[in-house]
Amino acid sequence: MKRTDITSSIVSRYQERYREHGDDHKALGWPRLEEVAVRHQAMLDVMLYHSPKLTLLDFGCGLSHLYRYMLDTMPNAARPVYVGLDIVPEFIMTSRTKYPGVSYYYGDILNEAFASTLPDFDYVVCNGVFTEKAEVIFDDMWLYFHAVIGKLFDLARVGLAYNVMSPYRRRRRDLFQVPMGMMAQFVAEKLNAKRFAIRHDYGLPDYTVYVYKSAI
């Protein structure tokens, strides 16, 4: 499947969920509310330390629930500057309405013209973007993942966090379940990263990868 077709299928899937659920975690494909905060914290744990001088890009920001979590759990003195990016227009419009003081980008990271307009960020997080593959075959999704994560790592000055589904739980054809050895090889060889960690310790059927370029 072509990259543009995969992108279109992702947008359509989330638009349908948004029409059904509105501003809710279910619109983002997360069925259990009690698991949402666990994943948010796992994303934020990529930061080596907290500071309002840091910038954090929430790629696939959805309805900015991560930002709400940051407001609820982090003091101003520790909260980085939050920036959102999404390709679903309804998500961006809703987020901008809720948080008019936040900077949001709307576009496809694999569109070179759009990608060239993006600045660098200290940290980039990518929560839930690569947990489903729906009708896309694994090999096509794996190549799509390569392309997007490569772009995101280019944007990150310090670190990148993302999650995928674990293959060590119940297998499902609609989920993007990646063996850890395969993921480690990708990070080491394709991203050429020397510092990374894979977390499978927070009790959910996904795992989170932290990839670092350097310390601040």
Mean pLDDT of 43-48: 96
**Structure tokens that stand for 185 in this block:** 């090889």
Q: Does 215 have pLDDT greater than 60?
A: no
Q: Residue written as tokens 């932290």? A: 210
Q: Assess contact for 44 and 159: CB atoms under 8 A.
A: no
Domain that holds residue 199: 3-212
Residues 57, 125: contact at Cβ < 8 Å? Answer: yes
Query: Which stretches within the chain are classed as H helix?
Result: 3-21, 33-44, 65-73, 89-98, 112-115, 138-155, 180-185
Q: For 159-202, how does the pLDDT look when each residue is reduced to its tens digit (9 = 90+)?
A: 999 999 999 988 899 999 999 999 999 999 999 999 999 999 99
pLDDT at 98 over 70: yes
Confidence at residue 170, expressed as pLDDT on a 0 to 100 scale:
83
Q: What average pLDDT does the chain have?
A: 95
Place of tokens 């063996």: 179
3-state secondary structure of 82: strand
Cβ-based neighbours of 27, under 8 Å, separated by 6 or more: 14, 17, 18, 20, 21, 62, 63
- Indicate the pLDDT class of residue 1, thresholds 50, 70 and 90: confident
Interval 69-79: pLDDT, tens: 999 999 999 99
Region for 60 from its dihedrals, namely left if φ exceeds 0, alpha if ψ lies in -120 to 50, beta otherwise: left
Side chain identity at residue 29, one-letter code: G
pTM of the predicted structure, to 2 decimals: 0.96
- pLDDT at position 214 is 64
Per-residue pLDDT, 137? 95
What is the pLDDT confidence band of residue 38, given thresholds at 50, 70 and 90? Answer: very high
Supply the CATH number for residue 145's domain: 3.40.50.150
Residue 66 has pLDDT above 70, yes or no: yes
89 neighbors 98 (Cβ within 8 angstroms): no
SS3 content of the chain, % helix, strand, coil (to 5): 40, 25, 35
The predicted structure's pLDDT at residue 151: 98
Sign for the pseudo-dihedral over CA of 143, 146, 147, 149: positive
- Model confidence pLDDT, tens digit, residues 13-34: 999 999 999 999 999 999 999 9
Is the pLDDT at 206 greater than 60? The verdict is yes
Percent of the chain at pLDDT exceeding 70: 99
Portion of the chain with pLDDT greater than 90, in percent: 93
As for how many domains the chain has, the answer is: 1
Instruction: Kindly tell me if the per-residue pLDDT of 119 is higher than 90.
Output: yes
Q: Which residues pair with 84 in a beta bridge?
A: 58, 104
Residue 81: its H or E element: strand 81-86
C-alpha 92/C-alpha 61 separation (Å) is 8
pLDDT score recorded for residue 216: 47
